[in-house]
Chains A and B, each alone.
Chain A
Amino acid sequence: MSARYDVAIIGAGLVGCAAAFELGLRGRRVAVLDQGEVNRGASGRNAGSLHFQIEPRMLEGGADPQRLAQLIPVNLRAIEDWRELPGRLRREIELVMHGGLMVAETAGERELLVRKSEVETRGGLPVRLVEGEELSRVAPYLAERVRCASYCTAEGHANPRLVTPAFAAAARHLGGEIMTGARVGGLEGRPEGWRIHIEWLRQQSGTAAASSLDAEAVLVAAGAWSPEILAPYGVRVPLVPVALSMNVTERCAPVVHHLVQHVGRRLSVKQVEAGNVLIGGGWPASLFGSETLGPNPEVWLREDSMIGNAAMAIHVVPVLAGLNLIRTWSGIASVSVDHLPVLGAIASMPGVFIAAGESSFTLGPTYARLVSELICLGQASMPIGLYRPDRFEPAADRSA
Chain B
Amino acid sequence: MGFRVTSGTFRPDQVSFTFDGVAIEAYPAETVAAALIANDVRGFRRDRSGRLRGPYCNMGTCFECVVEVRAPARASGVPFCDPHVPWRTVRACLLRVEAGLEVRSRKAPGIKDLSA
Find B87's partner among A251, A255, A319, A322 (CB 8 Å cutoff).
A322
Q: Does A253 contact B (CB under 8 A)?
A: yes
A30 to chain B, nearest CB (A): 40
Closest 6 CB pairs of A and B: A252-B112, A251-B111, A322-B85, A253-B113, A275-B111, A319-B114
> Can you name 18 A-B pairs with beta carbons within 8 Å?
A250-B89, A250-B112, A251-B110, A251-B111, A252-B112, A252-B114, A253-B111, A253-B112, A253-B114, A255-B114, A275-B111, A321-B84, A322-B86, A322-B87, A322-B88, A323-B89, A323-B112, A323-B114
In the docked arrangement, what's the CA distance between A252 and B110, Å?
A: 9
A324 at the interface (CB under 8 A from B): yes
Residues of chain A within 8 A (CB-CB) of B14 are none
Chain A 315-355 per-residue mask, 1 if CB under 8 angstroms from chain B, else 0: 00011011110000000000000000000000000000000
List chain A positions with a Cβ less than 8 A from chain B: 250-253, 255, 275, 318-319, 321-324
The 8 A CB mask of B4-35 against A (1 = contact, 0 = none) is 00000000000000000000000000000000
* Assembled-state Cα–Cα distance A322/B88 (Å): 7
A275, B113: Cα distance in complex, Å: 10
**Main SS class of interface, A:** mixed
Residue pairs across A and B with CB atoms within 8 Å: the count is 34
B49 part of interface (Cβ distance < 8 Å): no
Q: Which residues of chain B have C-beta atoms less than 8 A from A324's C-beta?
A: 88-89
Known contacts A250-B112, A253-B113, A253-B114, then 7 further A-B pairs from the complex at CB < 8 Å, ordered by chain A residue: A252-B113, A275-B111, A318-B84, A321-B84, A322-B87, A322-B88, A324-B89
Most buried by B among A253, A318, A322, A324: A322
User: A250's contact among B82, B109, B111, by CB below 8 Å, is which?
Assistant: B111
Chain B hits for A319, CB < 8 A: 114
- Residues of chain A within 8 A of B114, CB atoms compared: 252-253, 255, 319, 322-323
B115 touching A253 by the CB < 8 A rule? yes
Question: Which residue of chain A has its CB nearest to the CB of B80?
Answer: A324
**A319 to chain B: closest residue by CB:** B114
- Give the complex CA separation of A251 and B89 in angstroms: 11
Residues of A within 8 A of B88 (CB): 322, 324
Complex CA–CA separation, A252 to B86 (angstroms):
15
Q: How far is the CB of A272 from chain B (nearest CB, A)?
A: 12
Tell me which residues across on chain A come within 8 A of B109, comparing CB atoms.
275
With A and B bound together, what is the CA distance between A255 and B89 in angstroms? Answer: 17
Chain A residues, CB < 8 A from B89: 250, 323-324
| Bound Cα distance A322, B70 (Å) | 12
CB distance from B85 to the nearest CB of A (A): 5
Question: Which residues of chain B from 71 to 116 have any CB-CB distance to chain A below 8 Å in the complex?
Answer: 82, 84-89, 109-115
B34-68 vs A, CB cutoff 8 Å, 1 = contact: the mask equals 00000000000000000000000000000000000
| A293-B114 Cα distance, complex, nearest whole Å | 42
Output the nearest chain A residue to B82 by Cβ-Cβ distance: A321
User: Residue A252 contacts which of B82, B85, B111 (CB distance < 8 angstroms)?
Assistant: B111
Q: In the complex the two chains form, what is the Cα distance from A190 to B115 in whole Å? A: 66
- Give the residue among B84, B87, B89 with the most A Cβ atoms within 10 A: B89
What B residues does A252 contact at CB under 8 A? 111-114
Q: Which residues of chain A have C-beta atoms less than 8 A from B85's C-beta? A: 321-322
Chain A residue at minimum C-beta to C-beta distance from B90: A324
Q: Report how far A117 CA is from B113 CA in the complex, Å.
A: 35
Output the least CB separation between A195 and chain B (Å).
Answer: 50
A200 to chain B, nearest CB (A): 36
Nearest residue (CB) in B for A275 is B111
